[in-house]
């Protein structure tokens, strides 16, 4: 066991899968010689060669389309989209091709591809390097969308994604790459896709969050317990589609007060789906309206740092929402 950050854990998971299965390969822009823009794939080309760690042209539709073709010929490709913002040219390949392979063939064809994409707002990122893209894909049957936040989960879930017989979109919040560290076992226990995680238990309110917002919510929960004795249960979906509804509902029914925090725009978001599920299926246990906190409905985070800080829900905003809910 060693302490690793999120970036190192994903790298380790990729390397271990490539060592154990020769059909696993990586392709994307600058993933080989440069090791990726964030250095997640650094050193993989030296170990596994150019045929299994393949630098591609700057063409996302080609990257995902090639991955689909490779999967149809016995490979398990991991396609990297350098920034999630640039995934839209590959939208047709992901949604209309990869996600429909199994269904349209009545189970005769699988499409075992993993698509890695960094997402989330970052200082200096501006409009095209800071978007949260999860809602675009989280209503696509045939596609799984995962977004683990902590290193041990990320290592285990990149393995689960690669081993899955059908396409998985693997989201990595870029601000958490080096921020979050924890002990990662050499032999990770399996983390199945579709299983949420309760990070801390509490009796007063439930907060559901993922990505950077999970990290912030956990800090706020610790602060409010120390200062006001407020017991917050914090739940991380880990898989955004399909959702682990039962774990989320069990927590909502226990506390009776429910807040979902996300960095994405509120309208049409994953948080909207979570809120709808709780409002419909836990209504009789609720002591307050379901609350949501997210970014305003503007196209993207601004380049200017003060405006970006205003765009992303802060610890202060999360604390205020939690206190409002607790006092309801």
274 CB-near residues (< 8 Å, 6+ apart): 208, 237, 243, 248, 260
Per residue of the chain (328 residues), give pLDDT as tens. Answer: 899 999 999 999 999 999 999 999 999 999 999 999 999 999 999 999 999 999 999 999 999 999 999 999 999 999 999 999 999 999 999 999 999 999 999 999 999 999 999 999 988 888 899 999 999 999 999 999 999 999 999 999 999 999 999 999 999 999 999 999 999 988 878 899 999 999 999 999 999 999 999 999 999 999 999 999 999 999 999 999 999 999 999 999 999 999 999 999 999 999 999 999 999 999 999 999 999 999 999 988 888 888 888 899 999 999 999 999 999 9
Task: Note if the bond before 46 is cis, omega within 30 degrees.
Answer: no
- At residue 123, φ and ψ (nearest 5 deg) are -60, 130
Q: Could you write out the DSSP letters of every residue in 179-196?
A: T-EEEE-SSPPP--TT--
310 part of the active site: no
Domains of the chain: 2-184 (3.40.50.970), 197-326 (3.40.50.920)
Catalytic residue from among 129, 173, 199, 310: 129
Q: Which value, in Å, is the radius of gyration of the alpha carbons in the chain?
A: 20
């Amino acid at each position: 066991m060693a302490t690793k950050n999120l970036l190192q854990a994903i790298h380790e998971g990729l390397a271990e899968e490539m060592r154990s299965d020769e059909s696993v390969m990586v392709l994307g822009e600058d993933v080989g010689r440069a090791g990726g823009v964030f250095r997640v794939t650094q050193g993989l080309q030296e170990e596994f060669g150019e045929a299994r760690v393949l630098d591609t042209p700057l063409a996302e539709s080609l990257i995902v389309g090639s991955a689909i073709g490779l999967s149809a010929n016995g490979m398990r490709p991991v396609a990297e989209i350098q920034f999630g913002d640039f995934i839209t040219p590959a939208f047709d390949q992901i949604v209309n091709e990869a996600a429909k392979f199994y269904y349209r063939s009545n189970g005769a064809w699988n499409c075992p591809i993993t698509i890695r994409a960094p997402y989330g707002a970052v200082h200096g990122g501006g409009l095209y390097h800071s978007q949260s893209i999860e809602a675009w894909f989280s209503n696509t049957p045939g596609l799984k969308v995962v977004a683990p936040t902590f290193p041990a989960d990320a290592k285990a879930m990149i393995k689960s994604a690669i081993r899955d017989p059908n396409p998985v979109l693997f989201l990595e919040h870029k601000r958490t790459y080096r921020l979050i560290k924890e002990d990662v076992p050499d032999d990770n226990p399996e983390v199945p896709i579709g299983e949420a995680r309760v990070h801390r238990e509490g009796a007063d309110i439930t907060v559901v969050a993922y990505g950077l917002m999970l990290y912030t919510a956990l800090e706020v929960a610790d602060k409010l317990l120390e200062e006001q004795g407020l017991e917050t249960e914090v739940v991380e979906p880990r898989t955004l589609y399909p959702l682990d509804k039962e774990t989320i509902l069990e927590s909502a029914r226990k506390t009776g007060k429910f807040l979902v925090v996300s960095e994405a725009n509120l309208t049409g978001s994953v948080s909207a789906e979570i809120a709808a599920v709780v409002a419909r299926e836990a209504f009789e246990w609720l002591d307050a309206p379901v609350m949501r906190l997210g970014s305003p409905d503007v196209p993207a985070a601004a380049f200017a740092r003060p405006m970006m800080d205003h765009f992303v829900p802060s610890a202060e905003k999360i604390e205020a929402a939690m206190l409002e809910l607790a006092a309801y």
